[in-house]
Structure 1
């Protein structure tokens, strides 16, 4: 897969990791990739402590405030969470559970996903409610295209929660990455494959910091992209990527 046979499609502008799914994640400068995706991404879930059911902001109104909660990876590798009005807490801190429960107004816990295998002793897992795709890539071409279609809205890339936000080459237009399905891709020096389009859900429309609730975001993606915007990629080998890396397809 020599890049001499591939076309440069853009440059990595942003990298995002979401240590706790459904929360606002962290922007990072570089990261490690493995066959399962970005190391440290979506390790934990917010759950209803009474039932163990994982947060579902796109379907349940009571969970829509989850996007105002933030998660990050500390320098020692531990995951921390910040609830509005509170400091950052390790995920094991009792004060975090108190803050989450007060914020959501029902008892909320943070649990590792079953697929992580990271629980120990009597710790409880969060049941995977969907098959997690390894790596989510979104281009600026798609965001710009949606803005053209829906000029009164704000299709900020944060609504779509990519791991990799790509500054597309000037000659790319429309929902450009949807044409790359099954194609080999090189992310910096890491070989990968585009495996599927990203089917959008109601999470794209809900309000978050600086963004209003906007149902027309999803309506237009459904109408003009067959509900798809962005793609999922599977790394074919381990390696590191960083901001400024070129991407070839």
Structure 2
């Protein structure tokens, strides 16, 4: 068993495609983080879920925020507006004004809970219970593109791991199919994370930078970070050690 790092940050995205919330600890299960990707932005006229990497109309989504209130309710913040409950009457109007086309927030509880209202996004995240990214990968990308800023927020990990000094390069790409321990929780690294145009989109403090994706494609075969599947239910905390078994 080899210690490869420790959990530096935990991120949850209650509404997919928008900026999520940073946590100190979170419950997880075989299907991923509790409360992750519960809702999605949708084009109200077509019913198509937001894809900022494919459709420029959605690229402003990174300036919208989502969080989980103490009550468990999901809240959304549109720039220059107050936080609104996901079912608040004014949220649709605020989103539509911000994006300049009709936008709704619809529930998405993974395919296990699919009903007519959620079928538009069935299976979108089923392959990816937990997305792990190491500081080694971010540092390596910075060395390949010194003028750029490969901030971890570009890659939207659930777990951002501070790597041990002997973990270098796109190290986690070599962990596929290997057992991993996150704190007290065992699991398996199941797949590499294939990157898309979302990584280059401008957001707060970060400029649009196509070289980010070009270097991931050239040196990582378009992959950076990995997906992990927990074996059981447990709690992850910032500071938990990460072991490769």
CA distance in 1, matches of 2:187, 2:131: 12
Question: Shift of the alpha carbon at 1:115?
Answer: 2.3
Report the counterpart of residue 148 of structure 2 in structure 1: 153
* Mapping 1:99-118, distance limit 5 Å: 99-113=94-108, 115=110
2:109 & 2:68 partners in 1: Cα distance? 19
TM-score normalised to the size of structure 1? Answer: 0.94
The equivalent position to 1:134 in structure 2, one of 124, 129, 133, is 129
Root-mean-square deviation over aligned CA pairs: 1.4
Counterpart of 2:56 in structure 1 is 61
Report the equivalent of 1:3: none
User: Residue in 2 aligned with 1:164?
Assistant: 159
Q: 1:163 to 1:118 in 2, by over 3 A?
A: same
How much does 1:195 deviate? Answer: 0.0
Aligned to 1:125: 118
2:171 to 173, 176, 180: 176
What residue in structure 1 maps to residue 8 of structure 2? Answer: 13
CA distance in 2, matches of 1:66, 1:116: 24
Q: Is the CA contact (8 Å cut-off) linking 1:188 and 1:247 kept in structure 2? A: yes
TM-score between both structures, scaled by the size of structure 2: 0.96
Unaligned runs of 5+ in 1: 1-5
* Structure 2, unaligned runs of 5 or more: none
Matches within 5 A, 1:54-93: 54-93=49-88
Task: State the alpha-carbon separation in 2 of the partners of residues 148 and 162 from structure 1.
Answer: 20
Whether the aligned pair in 1 keeps the contact of 2:51 and 2:58 (CA below 8 Å) is yes
Map 1:196-215 to 2 at 5 A.
196-215=191-210
Count of residues paired in the alignment: 242
Q: Is the 8 A contact 2:110 2:123 kept in 1?
A: no
CA distance, structure 1, for counterparts of residue 113 and residue 169 of structure 2? 40
Render the CA deviation track for 1:121-178: whole Å, top value 9, x for unaligned.
Answer: xx83251165311000000000000000000000000000000000000111100100
For the 8 Å contact 2:111–2:123, the answer to whether it is kept is no
Deviation per residue, 1:59-105 (Å, 9 max, x gap) = 10000000100000000000000000001000001111110000000
Q: For 2:73 and 2:109, locate their aligned partners in 1 and report how far apart those are by CA, in whole Å.
A: 18
